[in-house]
Amino acid sequence: MKNTQPATFKNKKKSAVINLEKGKLPPQALDLEEAVLGAMMIDKKGVDDVIDILNDDVFYKESHQLIYNAIFTLFQNSEPIDLLSVSNQLRKDGNLEAAGGDFYIVNLTQKVSSSAHIEFHARIILQKYIQRRLISISSEIIEEAYDETVDVFDLLDDAEAKLFEVTQGNLKKGSEDAEGLVNQAIKKIEEISKKQGMSGIATGFTRLDELTSGWQPSDLVILAARPGMGKTAFVMSMAKNMAIDFNEPVAIFSLEMSSVQLITRMISSETGISSGKLRKGSLERHEWEQLNVKVKNLSKAPIFIDDTPSLSIFDLRAKARRLASQHGIKIIIIDYLQLMTAGNAAGGNREQEISMISRNLKALAKELNIPVIALSQLSRAVETRGGSKRPLLSDLRESGAIEQDADIVSFIFRPEYYGLTEWDDDERSPCEGQAEFILAKHRNGGLDNIRLKFTGHLALFSDLDDGFGNEFQSKMNSAIEESSVSPSDAFDPPPSQGNDDGVPF
């Protein structure tokens, strides 16, 4: 008998079969989950090997999540981990039946004989979880992309942030209880005590480090001053200290000067050769030898400079995430905030744009858990004000949100800039070659005015009593003697083109 089914019905049936055939299960490795949990209960070494790799979310099966949570609780409390203790912990948590009961837990321990290869198995479980997370993120992105009310740049930034979290293994968590946070805080305090009180990134300026304990993770630090006061010179001196003396990876986003100009400043301060001579190339033979010896430390320093002009806050966050992922940067420096743009997502006046940029810089510091230092201009009010020219918080240019969002607001003040020869204190001490680092806001610490030495022709800030100028030549001679490069090995310099003009750049 001839089939009289309508064509439309046959097509629908065929389509249903095809869809069923293409159905997919989320990536998973249940057999390895069982093996890892079993190994953790029969061998303490297995727990030590994978406890910092896994968390309960990476397990696909809910009962496995409950069992891992019980193991983790026992580990935190420094209690024995075995078949009986895990079963008892599940019973105390009210999760024994949901985890499969005693029989299921016994079966887990019978499936393995040792914890051999447990780390390898754990990493496969983690990979399956990352695959599931990527599928989930992709689905969210697709759904939001169809929503016409969602700003496309917000969507891009959110998508990149979620992918960065997966890459870093720092997937967003819910709230944490007090017990866990207290344990974390105690561990951090113990680590700080071993570093002699330096909980953050050391700047290389003794009194500043004593006051702040270094720049702290997740802090937004604003450094403001009038043009020509030495903002860039200060952060370049600081970046050099961090990268060369403490081997901390530093990222510098320069919107004002080129990367070659910045690195030339660092060469000047590191070698003791004036910036004027470096610009002209008018070096004596011994200075070429100094350059050849001292520049080696700088060339190996973990410094990453990006001189993209008119950088948007969106592009900066994307670049910063990549630098954190690829090079493990520990601090970000931005020179300077007012040259940044809000991108196409901007709206309103310039003050609102600056507010949005400062909020995003604070969010970036928190996301990457590293300090972000942003240079800022001051308004002209400081120039027209009578009496002391020391900057105030009210002098911050274009937005009060900068002061609100920042954890630290600081200023650079050099009396010489205004033609003064003495400090305006009771002692009326000479201020030649000196600067003041003013800590005007410090959310988690005290305030102070810290005096520093400023060597203009080297664009260098240093501790006021470090004796840099007097001792530099003897240090340089020692460095040359210890180096494999001897004066005879140094390359011949070009003919001298005149003396240094002594003008800092």
Residue 473's SS3 state is helix
C-alpha 126 chain-centroid distance: 25
Give Cα separations from 11 to 1, 4, 7, 16, 19 (angstroms): 20, 14, 6, 9, 12
CA distance 65 to 67: 6
Contacts of 333 (CB under 8 A, 6+ apart): 235, 239, 250, 251, 252, 253, 373, 374, 375
Two tokens, residue 462: 């240093």
CA distance 80 to 457: 65
Give Cα separations from 220 to 161, 198, 350, 485, 489 (angstroms): 19, 18, 21, 42, 46
Sheet holding 331-335, edge to edge: 303-306, 250-254, 331-335, 372-377, 220-225, 408-413, 434-442, 448-455, 460-463
Amino acid of residue 369: N
What's the chain's Rg over C-alpha atoms? 30
Cα first-last separation, the chain = 96
CB 315 within 8 A of CB 343: yes
CA distance 277 to 452: 24
Pick the closest to residue 237 from 212, 273, 262, 211 (CA basis).
Answer: 262
Pick the closest to residue 269 from 289, 295, 301, 300 (CA basis).
Answer: 295
Give Cα separations from 432 to 232, 271, 454 (angstroms): 20, 22, 9
CA distance 391 to 224: 9
CA distance 369 to 360: 14
Amino acid of residue 156: L
Instruction: Write out the catalytic residue numbers.
Output: 256
CB 444 within 8 A of CB 220: no
